[in-house]
Chain A
Amino acid sequence: MKEVLVIGAGIAGIQASLDMADAGFTVHLVEKEATVGGHMAQTDKVFPTLDCSSCILTPKMVSVGQHPNIRLYTLSEVGKIEGEAGNFTIEVIRHPRYVDESKCTGCGACAEACVMKGRIKNAFDMGIGKRGAVYIPFPQAVPLKYTIDPETCLTLSRGKCKKGPPCKLACAAEAINFEDTEKTVTLRVGAIVIATGYDPFDPKLKPEYGYGKYPEVLTALEVERLCSASGPTLGEIIVNGKKPTKVFFIHCVGSRDHTVDNLYCSRVCCMFTAKQAHLVKDKVPDAKVTVTYIDIRAFGKGYEEFYNRVQSEGIIYRRGVISEVFKKGDKLFVRGEDTLLGETYEEVADMVVLAAGLVQRKEGLEIIRKLGVQTGEDRFFTGPSPLDPVETGLPGIFLAGCCVGPKDIPDTVVQASGAASRAMSVLAAATSGGNG
């Protein structure tokens, strides 16, 4: 058996797939979204090197799309898993794209023609940017094939769009297919790598921060999109229609916090905040940027040095996180306690960034739980030994990336290769055992 299943195509799933494919195994990579890339594709620059995220990710995404040993199933989910290590039978459900992947050239004529163009919040841009009912999430998507969102497409939701769907008329390749249906593919694989990643913590669970109520209060992922040169504001920091002058970052939102039942540290928010503070200061040099924190966890290679650099750029670090964001008159205020000075303060703010932590995915994990993969008190997947995080304890099934707990990109990539190693051992044994 030389075939393997990878669930989730964020950087973890991508790396695990490329390792195994390069070694000569056939990889079936299943991703529920229309493109591979996961959260890393949404980030602008990465700490601590400030490399442009898509610049380092795109080559990997392209390789996944082109690798002769990788079968990529986007807009797909795993429906059923049966069997045992060395010999699993998998059902992959392919949701309809309504655009024929084999015909679509990615030219975008359909999106230009779509009646809904510019009217639907693009989830990839955290709702800041707008798209139509037929769209690609972002220009470097892999595969670069358009997708029709059945909920907002007038033809699919109401049965009628203009005199005839403009997208269909616009598509020279005749790729639009409203008759597309769900399909099931059955696979046989020797091992499984789970790389389903994370969800960002929902800051509405901390109502004291006013997220969703005040447009000046943003999540970190939203700020990633604002910073991105190819994002909805072309890299300009515009909050509530204005360039901000007083910016506050709040650490540990939804992490280290028993009130939301997340005791754990999310491991990356200290650093992505340092990065974003730097980027905001760089783009809006006159802004006063303050970061409020409990502990600074700058522990990776070059991280402490990066934190030192950010501090030297005139960004203010105050110990003690802000406890409340509120409006007085037409002004937004933050209230906090500086635990080092032992004083409380109230200050005006026109941009507040919540370093929302990482939580286990809410949806789509039933099939994995049904397999018997355990979860910890933090709800992330876990195996029998915390000292060997890639193991599930179930033969032939391995874990990689943020579905095993929050971590940064290097640690995610490490774990992805790690899971690949374990999976390849199982595949090799199954092959030499004559099952393959």
Chain B
Amino acid sequence: MRIGVYVCHCGTNIAATVDVAAVRDYAKTLPDVVHARDYQYMCSDPGQEMVREDIIEYHLDRVVIAACSPRMHEGTFRKVMEKGGINAYFFEEANIREQCSWVHSDREVATGKAKELVAAAVSRVHLQEALQEKEASVIPAALVIGGGIAGMTAAKDLAESGFRVTLVERKPALGGHVAKWTTTFPHMMEAQEFLTPLREKVTAHPLIDVMTHADLVDLQGFVGNYEARVRINPVFVDGDACTRCGKCVEACPVNLPDEETWFLTQRKAVVLPPPPLYPDTAVIDAEHCRHFTEDACHACADACPEQAIRFDNAVAEKTVTAGAVIVATGYELFDPVRKPELNYDKIPTVITGPQLERLLDKNGPTNGELVLDGRRPEKITFIHCVGSRDETVGNLYCSRVCCMFTAKQARVVRERYPDTRIRVCYMDMRTFCRGCEEFYNDVQHMGIYYTRGMVSEVFLRNGHPVVRFEDTFLGEVMEEETDWVVLAVGMEPPEGSDEIQNLLKLSRSADGFFLEAHPKLRPVDTDTDGIFLAGCCQGPRDIADTVSSAHAAASRAAIPLFAGKVAIDPIVAEVDTEVCAGCALCEEVCVYGALKLDERLKKMTVNEAVCKGCGACSATCPSSAIKLKNFKNNQLLAQIDALCVKGGGA
């Protein structure tokens, strides 16, 4: 065996704390090491080229590089092995940066430890096995979950690139939250003006299959080859026959608070989603419809002139295959009941920003008129950061849009009702999006009072809500009577995120939103290959940033679809069938579902494309029958043994 060892300076990152020349000289004394060098930047072009040339010139058959974490450059160096003509897995990276130079300050100690880490790597590389990467073919199609602007944008991009897309939305109609907004900041474009063309492109595209009122119930497989089961919940109305005449709604005897206005108004058990939505037919809500809950009521069926009501519609299930999956499940709004001092549930004129959007919407419950219980407000107080930047409710993060939607709403109210007096209580004005600082400037010149200071309480006095706040400029606590209070509620992960997390094996960040693979450089990828995030399900953001991230998720998803094949990491579990007793303990611990017992042979089998090489199975197996390639006991023990000898044991 002929081993080459390379010690990287990483500029001064390593060399300032570790005596790299000493490590290099020490490496030369290790068994079978025929060549050792140190170099400024091993990852640089010439650094890589040097290794490649050395492999040929010195006939190296194993290489150890002492540098940074393998997470950074293992892939880079494996390619160098291949270019030099040896197996990519005859390589070991000793991490003398993150695990040594960065965490120690004593040069002597750090140098000693670096030597030990190199000795351990050398000892292990002796036993490393040659592995071959495999390829799997890719189904040229995508599955998108969530039909808000994020999901629709991603679906449209992928279809325009020529891929079949299934778009699954759990509500009866596409559109997400933006469908409920009036005008959009910062350019005051009507939300529908933006949404309608997008929805039309999506629903008309021949490659996009839209499934509304549908839930993902199962997802199996791996990048390039996913299989999903989607449950389509019936709406009990024949969409082709329905003419949206609304007679069913009139006839329905059920009245209940409407979720679509966050319970500001009532609805029936059969509803007509507002016109720009898709599909535009009446929908029966089986959970509240008396036909199902009580007495087989059929008032709507009797009223429908088209006989479009279908109480016998059943749940349907479809199987969908896809090479990549995009999650675009958006957000939900913070429920201000969790801040009892604001008395949202006690004072009817304390409402939320989203509710105000509905009231300002010309297609909304008041046809755009600013009234509640027949009364128009003369004074409105807006309160920022409700449920955001607030430790008491467990949400430390900023929701990114509430400063701006409040400014937008204040402006719309002033424009439509110029005598309304408006105060906005804020902590920091976060009008950072493009065109937004300019917008905020304009709004300040519209006679709206911006007061820096947080509100501690809202209570009722003489039938009016009173807002108590601290004006931090004046350093005074003030109490002000007002007519309406509007709470700028922030964003939270939507209900159902747990199910999606479990089905797709996603992670969540501390704020509860889905976690990206890397916060800086892989912001829409997840840890699972072939699954990507678009829009607010990864964290709060405005429409422009949502649309950007949806395009981005489409790009990342399109890579394997265009490439037509994906590489499969060869570091996977391997079963020694001679030893395997078929106890199937490992099958239970595998969170990726990569293991399956062959019932006939009573032996465990590994789906190499699904296996992530986590090693949970090999740690569980009582008879060591299942092992992780290149992480076998003898390989790891060799490494540990070397570490246990002081000074690395030359």
Contacts and interface: CB of A to CB of B under 8 A. Distances in A.
Interface of A: 11, 15, 19, 22-25, 46, 48-49, 51-52, 55-60, 62, 65-66, 105-107, 139-140, 142-144, 229-230, 234-235, 256, 263-265, 267, 295-305, 308, 319, 339-342, 376-378, 380, 385-390, 404-405, 409-411, 413-422, 424-425, 428-429, 432
Contacts of B518: 56
Contacts of B247: none
B436 A265 contact: yes
B614 interface: no
Given A414-B552, A421-B552, A229 B12 contact: yes
Contacts of B449: none
Contact of A234 (B12, B48, B187): B12
A308 B398 CA distance: 12
B520 A256 contact: no
Interface stretch (B337-345, B461-469, B555-563): B555-563
B473 A340 contact: yes
A414 B524 contact: yes
B476 to A, nearest CB: 11
B545 A411 contact: yes
Contact of B548 (A24, A308, A390): A390
B200 interface: no
Most chain B C-beta atoms within 10 Å of own C-beta, residue among A55, A57, A405: A55
Interface string B2-17: 0000000001110010
29 contacts: A15-B521, A19-B556, A23-B561, A56-B72, A56-B518, A59-B43, A62-B44, A62-B45, A139-B40, A139-B41, A144-B45, A265-B437, A296-B428, A301-B397, A302-B509, A304-B389, A308-B396, A340-B473, A342-B475, A386-B187, A386-B189, A386-B434, A387-B189, A388-B547, A409-B520, A418-B552, A421-B161, A424-B562, A432-B162
A51 B98 CA distance: 11
A295 B427 CA distance: 8
A80 B562 CA distance: 30
B135 to A, nearest CB: 14
A139 B524 contact: no
B551 A418 contact: yes
Given A140-B44, A404-B434, A414-B549, 13 more contacts: A57-B521, A59-B75, A105-B49, A144-B46, A297-B428, A305-B510, A376-B434, A386-B187, A390-B551, A418-B550, A421-B558, A424-B558, A429-B160
For A22, A51, A143, A339, the residue with the greatest tally of chain B CB atoms inside 10 Å of its CB is A22
A427 to B, nearest CB: 8
Given A299-B398, A414-B524, A428 B551 contact: no
B523 interface: yes
Given A230-B12, A295-B430, A386-B186, A305 B396 contact: yes
A230 B11 contact: yes
Which one of A106, A140, A389, A418 has the greatest number of beta carbons of chain B within 10 Å?
A418
B417 interface: no
B68 A55 contact: yes
B160 A229 contact: no
Nearest to A11: B521
A263 B431 CA distance: 11
Contacts of B562: 23-25, 424, 428
Contacts of B428: 295-297
A300 B547 CA distance: 16
Interface in B38-91: 40-41, 43-46, 48-49, 68, 72-73, 75-76, 79
Contact of A299 (B12, B189, B400): B400
A142 B397 CA distance: 37
B491 to A, nearest CB: 12
Contacts of B520: 46, 49, 51, 56, 409-410, 413
A142 to B, nearest CB: 7
Contact of B559 (A23, A139, A388): A23
A22 B509 CA distance: 28
B357 interface: no
B432 A420 contact: no
Interface string B509-521: 1110100101111
Interface in B350-405: 389, 396-398, 400
Given A229-B11, A418-B555, A428-B161, A387 B72 contact: no
Contacts of B550: 418
Contact of A422 (B397, B551, B561): B551
B11 A139 contact: yes
B549 A418 contact: yes
Contacts of B396: 304-305, 308
The list of the 8 closest CB pairs from A to B, nearest first, reads: A418-B551, A421-B555, A417-B552, A230-B11, A23-B562, A295-B428, A425-B160, A417-B555
Contact of B544 (A49, A106, A295, A387): A387
Nearest to B556: A417
B591 to A, nearest CB: 25
Contacts of B509: 301-302
Contacts of B292: none
B263 interface: no
Contacts of A417: 524, 551-553, 555-556
A84 B522 CA distance: 32
Given A55-B68, A139-B11, A410 B555 contact: no
A419 B551 contact: yes
Nearest to B44: A144
Contact of B41 (A56, A140, A299, A339): A140
Contacts of A303: 397-398
Contact of A389 (B516, B519, B538, B548): B548
A55 B558 CA distance: 27
A301 B513 CA distance: 10
B157 interface: yes
Contact of A106 (B46, B187, B429, B554): B46
Contact of B429 (A295, A377, A420): A295
A125 to B, nearest CB: 13
B438 interface: yes
B432 A297 contact: yes
A163 to B, nearest CB: 30
B558 A23 contact: yes
Contacts of A419: 551
Interface in B429-468: 429-438, 441
B543 interface: yes
A298 B397 CA distance: 9
Contacts of A106: 44-46
Nearest to B434: A405
A267 B437 CA distance: 10
